[in-house]
């Protein structure tokens, strides 16, 4: 006879070794053992309250589940591969603890709605952890922005010097990105917060269950409205994985900048020894490996989202065993993202900024050329396109002479545009350039301080 008492009544033989190996998911889904216990507690209480099972049996089941929860906490729970998933493992252990009453727990419930409930609970908890991690990273960035509201650095386009900005302004750009990430995760959490429990295998159940009760007990807003959708939907996992890909891309961009800034060629920032590694052959090296690994983990997060989407794209309603493979990509994506957030927060917090190197770099590459063009428009009333052309000519002249734009003499400038006056030099320093960018969202120190205050209040 089939050894699996949980589902083997229909079968005359036990699963083959290869069938058992490919069918088992306990090594993966044991990660939401706590959620499985929570779901079973809610279901057992409801069964007892509605009289579907006796209050005595419900009490025994709850006592047994509490014992199992303790075993899970202290690591003594006896996982067994012959019970292919966490649900059957818990039920088997419950039977050992309380006997026949354990068989009543699954009344009005299927593994299909059970796993869907467990998975939603796990993803909801994961989103809450990610939101906490994002807030911590934002706080670290805001702290750096406050400290460096006046620290001048080159702003880049195409990785070419464009215009001077402040390092504080640069940090706040990432705060904005991560705020949008928080919005995406929060939206995903709101949409997933409906309960599949009670949908049973796919069609609901004939028992007079109270789905509102179990939904409320588990912190869901309401039961899902369609039993087919309840057991087969994985939108919540897809949406969370996709939110993770965008967040990971933002982390990767910041990681790339840290790698570049730490190089000897830039020398804008330095990471402490405990957040870098050395070389086995080159004793001078201090490698920003944490940043590089964050960059790499973006590929894992992206891959997880694609794997899940590919797995789901051709499945008919309702449940198919393919969906057993839905959890591992999500677990991996969340693990990678949480670790990346923690590592990035540590790096941003510990970052030493080399202000002098940034300032020197900001003055290179004719970074105040736009300020000169704006002066020509504002003071000489030139059309901007004419001012752009005149400024380009002056840049070419300075480049030919091998000097900075503000090192051109007034005679040099008047050889290109005779109306230029001594006042032009007031806009050609990087300090004055930065101070002048006072438009909303601009890089002027006063605007940066305003945004620091805004984010400090928002992040409280």
Instruction: Give the model confidence (pLDDT) of 359-408 as tens digits.
Output: 999 988 888 899 899 999 999 999 999 999 999 999 999 999 999 898 99
Helical H runs in 26-110? 26-29, 33-49, 55-74, 86-98
Confidence of residue 81 (pLDDT cuts 50, 70, 90): confident
pLDDT at position 23: 66
Angle at 296 between CA 324 and CA 329, to 5 degrees: 5
Confidence of residue 20 (pLDDT cuts 50, 70, 90): low
How many CB atoms are closer than 10 A to CB 64? Answer: 23
Model confidence, pTM: 0.91
pLDDT at position 202: 96
Q: Does residue 6 register a pLDDT over 70?
A: no
Catalytic position from the list 16, 263, 279, 453: 279
Q: Strand 222-223 relative to strand 194-195: parallel, antiparallel, unpaired?
A: parallel
- 245 alpha-carbon distance from chain centroid: 7
Look up 340 and say whether it is catalytic.
Answer: no
Dihedral, CA of residue 61, residue 64, residue 66 and residue 69, to nearest 10: -120
Q: Does residue 36 register a pLDDT over 90?
A: yes
Look up 279 and say whether it is catalytic.
Answer: yes
Task: Express each pLDDT in 118-163 by its tens digit.
Answer: 999 999 999 999 999 999 999 999 999 999 999 999 999 999 988 9
Tokens standing for residue 9 = 């009544």
How many CB atoms are closer than 10 A to CB 312? Answer: 19
Q: Does residue 1 register a pLDDT over 50?
A: no
Task: Express each pLDDT in 285-333 by its tens digit.
Answer: 678 899 999 999 999 999 999 999 999 999 999 989 888 889 999 999 9
**195 φ/ψ angles, rounded to the nearest 5 degrees:** -95, 125
Catalytic position from the list 76, 158, 206, 280: 158
pLDDT at position 7: 52
How far, in Å, CA of 319 to CA of 397, rounded? 71
Asked, as a colleague might, if the bond just before 318 is cis with ω within 30 of 0, I would say: yes
């Amino acid at each position: 006879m089939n050894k699996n008492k949980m589902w083997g009544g229909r079968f005359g033989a036990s699963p083959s070794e290869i069938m058992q190996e490919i069918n088992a998911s306990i090594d993966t889904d044991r990660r939401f053992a706590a959620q499985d216990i929570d779901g079973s507690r809610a279901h057992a209480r409801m069964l007892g309250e509605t009289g579907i099972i006796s209050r005595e049996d419900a009490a025994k089941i709850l006592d047994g589940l509490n014992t199992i929860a303790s075993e899970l906490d202290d690591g003594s729970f006896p996982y067994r591969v012959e019970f292919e998933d966490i649900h059957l493992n818990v039920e088997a252990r419950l039977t050992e603890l309380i006997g026949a009453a354990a068989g009543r727990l699954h009344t009005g419930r299927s593994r299909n709605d059970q796993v869907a409930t467990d998975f939603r609970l796990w993803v909801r908890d994961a989103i809450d952890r990610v939101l906490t991690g994002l807030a911590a990273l934002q706080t670290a960035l805001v702290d750096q922005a406050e400290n460096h509201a006046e620290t001048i650095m080159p702003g880049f386009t195409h990785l070419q010097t464009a215009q001077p900005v402040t390092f504080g302004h640069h940090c706040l750009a990432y705060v904005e990105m991560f705020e949008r990430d928080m919005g995406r995760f929060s939206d995903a959490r709101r949409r997933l917060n409906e309960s599949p429990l009670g949908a049973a295998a796919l069609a609901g159940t004939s028992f007079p269950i109270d789905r509102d009760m179990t939904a409320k007990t588990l912190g869901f807003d309401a039961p899902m409205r369609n039993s087919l959708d309840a057991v087969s939907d994985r939108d919540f996992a897809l949406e969370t994985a996709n939110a993770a890909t965008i967040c990971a891309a933002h982390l990767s961009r910041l990681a790339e900048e840290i790698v570049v800034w730490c190089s000897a060629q830039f020398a804008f920032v330095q990471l402490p020894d405990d957040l870098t590694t050395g070389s086995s052959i080159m004793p001078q090296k201090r490698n920003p490996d944490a940043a590089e690994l964050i960059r790499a983990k973006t590929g894992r997060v992206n891959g997880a989202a694609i794997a899940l989407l590919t797995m789901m794209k051709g499945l008919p309603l309702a449940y198919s065993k393919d969906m057993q493979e839905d959890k591992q990509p999500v677990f991996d994506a969340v693990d990678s993202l949480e670790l990346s957030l923690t590592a990035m927060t540590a790096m941003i917090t510990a970052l030493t900024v080399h202000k002098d190197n940034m300032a020197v770099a900001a003055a290179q590459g004719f970074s105040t050329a736009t300020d000169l063009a704006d002066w020509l428009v504002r003071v000489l009333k030139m059309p901007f396109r004419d001012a752009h052309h005149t400024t380009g000519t002056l840049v070419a002249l300075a480049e030919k002479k091998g000097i900075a734009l503000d090192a051109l003499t007034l005679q040099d400038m008047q050889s290109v545009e005779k109306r230029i006056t001594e006042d032009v030099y007031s806009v050609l320093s990087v300090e004055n350039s930065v101070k002048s960018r006072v438009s909303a969202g601009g890089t002027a120190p006063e605007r940066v301080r305003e945004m620091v205050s805004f984010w400090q209040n928002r992040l409280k």
